[in-house]
């Protein structure tokens, strides 16, 4: 696959800006935008919170792996993943087959919490971060800080992507 057709895959904590930055990136690059949580919601006709409540986390994580596989068969996309996508090494292996992985790092106090089943309080966020921060760093091809305007993170991703995709 031509590196310029590689997917741009965004990972990071729930509420770090993966969806909003992913949509901006997709618009600027004239690419399709995929959100793995939305894909899971559409498939199950339930919100992520409802899936967790009704079927549990193990079911949801299996859905994530299935969606990672679907995404890995595509190219030229911008993909925002759920915050827990890094919990299974298989997911990252699949996404890296056709993508460059960007860890959107955001200070914990700036993370959005509304409607997020696993990060509804400051304590829950700190616990999640302690469990996942090492996994995000291991999975990432590039770490991008998202502490200012979304466009700054978009620009940093674009610069890295073009520098590392033969443009």
pLDDT of 115 reads 55
Q: Mean pLDDT, the chain, as a whole number?
A: 90
How far is residue 81's CA from residue 48's CA, in Å, rounded to a whole number? 13
| CA separation, residue 69 to residues 64, 66, 97, 126, 146 (Å) | 9, 5, 10, 29, 27
Whole-number pLDDT of residue 49: 86
Question: Residue 81 has what DSSP assignment?
Answer: P
76 pLDDT band (50/70/90 cuts)?
Answer: very high
Q: How many helices (H) and strands (E) does the chain have?
A: 7, 5
What domains sit in the chain, N to C, each tagged with a CATH number?
3-163 (3.40.50.300)
Has this prediction a pTM greater than 0.85?
yes
- pLDDT score for 166: 59
Q: With beta carbons less than 8 A apart as the criterion, state whether 28 and 21 touch.
A: no
Pairing status of strand 142-145 against strand 7-11: unpaired
């Amino acid at each position: 696959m031509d590196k310029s057709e590689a997917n741009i895959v965004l990972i990071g904590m729930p509420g770090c800006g993966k969806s909003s930055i992913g949509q901006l990136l997709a618009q600027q690059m004239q690419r399709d935008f995929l959100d793995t949580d939305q894909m899971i919601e559409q498939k199950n006709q339930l919100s992520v919170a409802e899936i967790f409540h009704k079927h549990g986390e193990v079911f949801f994580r299996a859905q994530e792996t299935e969606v990672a596989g679907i995404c890995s068969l595509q190219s030229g996309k911008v993909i925002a993943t759920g915050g827990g996508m890094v919990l299974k090494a298989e997911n990252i292996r699949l996404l890296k087959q056709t993508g460059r992985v960007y860890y959107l790092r955001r200070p914990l106090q700036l993370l959005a919490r509304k409607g997020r089943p696993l990060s509804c309080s400051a304590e829950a966020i700190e616990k999640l971060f302690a469990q996942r921060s090492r996994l995000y760093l291991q999975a990432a091809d590039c770490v991008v800080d998202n502490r200012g305007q979304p466009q700054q993170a978009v620009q940093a991703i674009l610069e890295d992507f073009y520098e590392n995709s033969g443009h």
